[in-house]
Amino acid sequence: MASGASYAASPPPLKNELDIVIPTIRNLDFLEMWRPFFEPYHLIIVQDGDPTKTIKVPPGFDYELYNRNDINKILGPRASCISFKDSACRCFGYMVSKKKYIFTIDDDCFVATEPSGKKINALEQHIKNLLCPSTPYFFNTLYDPFREGADYVRGYPFSLREGAPTAVSHGLWLNIPDYDAPTQLVKPLERNTRYVDAVMTIPKGTLFPMCGMNLAFDRDLIGPAMYFGLMGDGQPIGRYDDMWAGWCCKVICDHLGLGIKTGLPYIYHSKASNPFVNLRKEYKGIFWQEDIIPFFQNAVLPKECTTVQKCYIELSKQVKEKLSKIDPYFDKLADAMVTWIEAWDDLNPTGASKANGKA
Amino acid sequence: MASGASYAASPPPLKNELDIVIPTIRNLDFLEMWRPFFEPYHLIIVQDGDPTKTIKVPPGFDYELYNRNDINKILGPRASCISFKDSACRCFGYMVSKKKYIFTIDDDCFVATEPSGKKINALEQHIKNLLCPSTPYFFNTLYDPFREGADYVRGYPFSLREGAPTAVSHGLWLNIPDYDAPTQLVKPLERNTRYVDAVMTIPKGTLFPMCGMNLAFDRDLIGPAMYFGLMGDGQPIGRYDDMWAGWCCKVICDHLGLGIKTGLPYIYHSKASNPFVNLRKEYKGIFWQEDIIPFFQNAVLPKECTTVQKCYIELSKQVKEKLSKIDPYFDKLADAMVTWIEAWDDLNPTGASKANGKA
C-alpha cells in the first residue's frame, strides 16, 4: 500500500467513536446475523411509523431508540425537517449521535460472503476506507493505492499522492441490486452476483448515486450535509433521500477537499421492495432528477464557505433560487435544509463531537 | 445489462477490422502463448533498434514488419516524429494500419488467468469494451452497466443512459504492476495478485495514467491522438510515451463526447524492467508531470475543434505556448505533434479507414 497508511491493514475498531444507525418499523431480528460484528458498538435505532408499536431488539446489544414522539420532543417545531414514514428518518440518528463516525444499514441487509466463503465484516472495511485517504484528483488504475498489495501506478503525480481525507465510504450490495422501479419492473429476476474486489474514489467533479443501505461517514468532516431530505408522509416523492444527500455531500466534499469512496464492503440485500409502490414514490424524482443533476453538476460554492454548515446553507439558497421553479416542493425542501442545520447546531455545539470522539 | 447493447455478451470477433500492434527488439516467442487468440488477426510488428537484426515470428501468424529503415522510407523527413530505441515507436503501427480497431501489447505480456483458472482472452474483452458505450457523465456504482448481470442503479439519470461511444479500452496487469522507478525501487517484490472483476469509465474531466502495455482503441474515433511522443534515442525522457498519449486522448475524448474505459482485461506481465535504468529515463518526467498534469486538467479546446486532428493541432499549440517554458523539449514535442498529424493524414486520406473497416 502507499506509504503513510500502515494503519489500513488492521484498522483500530473505533469502538467508542462509531455509532450504528438503523431506521426501522419492525423487530430487529436481522441483528442476530450481525452480532459478532455489531455487538461491540452502540446502536441508534430510529423507529419509523407508529410510535406506540414496540420494536424488539435482540438481547446483548447496546442501543438507544427514538420513535416519532421522541423526535418531536427533542426537536420541537424543527422536527418538521425529519421525514416520517420513510427511511429518510434515519438522519435524525446522525444528528443525535455524539460520535465521530456513523455506519448506517437497512434492516433487510445481511452478512455477505466473499467468493472464498469468508463472511464479510462490512463495518471493518468501512473503517479501513474512512481511515485512509481518498484520491479524488487523479484516477489510479489499480484502484485504492492504500490497500495491501497496491500502490500508485506509473504516471501518478507525486504531489497528489497524499490524497484527501475520506469523508464517506459507500458500500455495495450482493443479491438484490439497488435498481429504480422501472429497472426492477423490467428485470425482476436480476441479481448481483459479481463480487468486485475494489475500493475506489469518486473523482472530483463527478456525481454518483449514493445509496443509504450500507453507508459510513465521518460526522466531523461531513455530518451536517448528510441530510436525507423530505420524503414519505405528506411529501410528493420518496426513494430520493439518499440520492439527495449524496449529491449535496459530493458537491461539498469537492469544495472542501474531501474524498468519497465506493466499492467494498458488500452486504447481502435480501428483499427487493415492491416495484409498483416504488414507481409511485419515484416517478416525480425520475423527471426532476433530469434538472437536479445539471443543477448539482454546475453548483459552485464561494470561497467564504469554509465549513460544511456554511456550504449547506449556501446550497439551500441555490436550491431555492434554481430548483423551486420545477416544483414548490423544492422551496419547502430548501427551508427544511436550513431547519436541519439549525437543529444540528443546536444538538452539536461547536467542538462537542470532536471532544467526545477523543474521550 | 443495460438495453441497446445485446452484442456485448458475445462480440463479433472483428477479424477484418482489427490489427494487433507489437513493438519489439527480439524474437516474438511470446506469441506462442497467445496463438489461440491472436492467430486469426493481422499483426503489425514495429521493430525497434538495429534494423539489420532479424526478428523471428512463430509460423502461422499473418504479419507485416517495419524496421527503422522502413519507417524512414515511408515517412521521409517526417520519420523524425517516430521515436527510436523506445517502445513509443509502436505508434507508427497505428498510423500504417488501415483497420478500424487497434490492440497493442508488449512482448513481455502473457495470457493471464481468472481466479477460476480460465485463460483470459484479452482481445475479446477489449472488443466487448469498445463495442458498448461508456458512461463518462455520471458514475455508476455497479461499474459497467453494459456487462451481463449489471445495469444502471437507482438515481442514474435516464437521459444519460445512452452513454458515449467508447474510444479507448485500457487493460490491466497481473503479476508485475506498472510502477514508476521510485516505487519499483522501494517495493521490488510487490506483485499484483488482485483480480478486480470490473470495467469502468473514467469520468469526464478526470485524467488517468494510460499504460500502453495492454491497450485497445478505435482508430476512427481517436487514432490521430494516439501519438506516443518523442522518447528514447536523443530525447531527455523515456517511459512517458503512453502517459502523454493518455493525457492528450482524455482531453480530446472529453471534448468530443467520447468515452475511455479501464479495468478488464488483465494480461500477465512477466518481467519488471530495470528500476535503475527506468529512473534515468523517468526522472525529468517525474518533475515535469507536476506541471503537465495541471496543464491538461485546465486545457480547454474551442468549439471549432470538431475532429481529432483539429483538437490535436490545437493541443500542440497550447503545449508550445504553455509547456515550452519548462524545457525546450516541449517546443520540439509540439512540433513533432504537428508532424505526426501531417504524416497521419498523408497515410490516411479522409474516409479511407472507414471504407476499409466496412470491406
Q: Per-10-residue mean pLDDT for chain A, 359 residues long? A: 58 91 97 97 98 97 98 98 97 98 97 97 98 98 96 97 98 97 95 98 98 98 98 96 98 98 97 90 95 98 98 98 97 98 95 39
pLDDT value for A197: 98
A158 interfacial to chain B (CB closer than 8 Å): yes
pLDDT value for A269: 97
**CA dihedral angle for residue B9, residue A199, residue B105, residue A161, rounded to 10 degrees:** 150
pLDDT value for B359: 30
User: Cα B214 to chain center, whole Å?
Assistant: 7
Alpha carbons B194 and B174: distance in angstroms, whole number: 7
Q: Are A212 and A228 in contact (CB under 8 A)?
A: yes
pLDDT value for B1: 72
Of B1 and A304, which is predicted with more confidence?
A304
pLDDT value for B3: 63
Per-residue pLDDT of B278-305, as tens digits, reads 999 999 999 999 999 999 999 999 999 9
Interface probe for B, chosen from A106, A141, A174, A249 (most Cβ of B below 10 Å), is A141
If one counts every other C-beta atom within 10 angstroms of the C-beta of residue B109, the result is 24
Q: Give the residue on A whose Cα is nearest the Cα of B170.
A: A141
Backbone angles phi, psi at A355, to 5 degrees: -60, -45
3-state secondary structure of B19: strand
- pLDDT at B8 > cutoff 90: no
For residue A141, which residues of chain B lie inside 8 Å, CB to CB?
170, 172, 178, 208-209, 211, 262
Asked if the Cβ–Cβ distance from B172 to A141 is below 8 Å, we say yes
B149 interfacial to chain A (CB closer than 8 Å): yes
Q: Percentage of chain B with pLDDT > 90?
A: 92
pLDDT value for B9: 59
pLDDT value for A350: 78
- Cell representation of residue B210: 494510460
B117 interfacial to chain A (CB closer than 8 Å): no
Q: Give the residue on A whose Cα is nearest the Cα of B288.
A: A157
Alpha carbons A79 and B259: distance in angstroms, whole number: 45
- Compute the nearest-CA separation of A192 from chain B (Å): 6
Q: Are B108 and B140 in contact (CB under 8 A)?
A: no
Residue holding cell 426492477? A184
Q: Are B141 and A200 in contact (CB under 8 A)?
A: no
pLDDT value for A357: 35
- pLDDT at B185 > cutoff 70: yes
**Which domains are present in chain A?**
18-348 (3.90.550)
The closest of B136, B44, B160, B154 to B94, measured between CA atoms, is: B44
A177 interfacial to chain B (CB closer than 8 Å): yes
Alpha carbons A76 and A89: distance in angstroms, whole number: 15
Task: Enumerate the H helices of A187-231 as residue ranges.
Answer: 219-222
- pLDDT at B355 > cutoff 70: no
- Cell representation of residue A76: 420541537
- Compute the nearest-CA separation of A158 from chain B (Å): 8
Alpha carbons A95 and A56: distance in angstroms, whole number: 23
Per-residue pLDDT of B88-143, as tens digits, reads 999 999 999 999 999 999 999 999 999 999 999 999 999 999 999 999 999 999 99
- pLDDT at B357 > cutoff 50: no
- Compute the nearest-CA separation of A245 from chain B (Å): 12
Tell me the mean pLDDT in the region B45-59: 97
pLDDT value for A271: 83
pLDDT value for A3: 62
For residue B159, which residues of chain A lie inside 8 Å, CB to CB?
290
pLDDT value for A9: 59
- Compute the nearest-CA separation of A354 from chain B (Å): 31
Asked if the Cβ–Cβ distance from B154 to A211 is below 8 Å, we say yes
Alpha carbons A238 and A241: distance in angstroms, whole number: 7
Residues 119-148 of A with CB under 8 A from B: 138-143, 147
Alpha carbons B289 and B312: distance in angstroms, whole number: 19
Q: Are A261 and A202 in contact (CB under 8 A)?
A: yes
Span of A45-59, B154-168, B265-279 with lowest mean pLDDT: B265-279
Alpha carbons B348 and A237: distance in angstroms, whole number: 55
Q: CB within 8 A of A231, min separation 6: which ones?
A: A83, A86, A88, A237, A238, A239, A240, A241
Q: Give the residue on A whose Cα is nearest the Cα of B206.
A: A138
Per-residue pLDDT of B29-45, as tens digits, reads 999 999 999 999 999 99
Backbone angles phi, psi at A3, to 5 degrees: -65, 160
Confidence label for B356 from pLDDT (cuts 50, 70 and 90): very low
Q: Are B168 and B217 in contact (CB under 8 A)?
A: yes
For residue A170, which residues of chain B lie inside 8 Å, CB to CB?
141
Q: Give the residue on A whose Cα is nearest the Cα of B177.
A: A153
Q: Which helix (H) or strand (E) holds A130?
A: helix A122-131
β-partners of residue A263 are A171, A199
Q: Are B238 and B276 in contact (CB under 8 A)?
A: no
For residue A139, which residues of chain B lie inside 8 Å, CB to CB?
202, 206-209, 262
A37 interfacial to chain B (CB closer than 8 Å): no
Residue B119 DSSP code: B
Per-residue pLDDT of B205-257, as tens digits, reads 999 999 999 999 999 999 999 999 999 999 999 999 999 999 999 999 999 99
For residue B158, which residues of chain A lie inside 8 Å, CB to CB?
286, 290
Asked if the Cβ–Cβ distance from A198 to B196 is below 8 Å, we say yes
Beta strands in chain B (DSSP E): 18-24, 42-47, 62-66, 101-105, 109-111, 166-175, 199-201, 214-218, 259-269
Asked if the Cβ–Cβ distance from B209 to A290 is below 8 Å, we say no
- Cell representation of residue B150: 449489471
Q: Give the residue on B whose Cα is nearest the Cα of A173.
A: B142
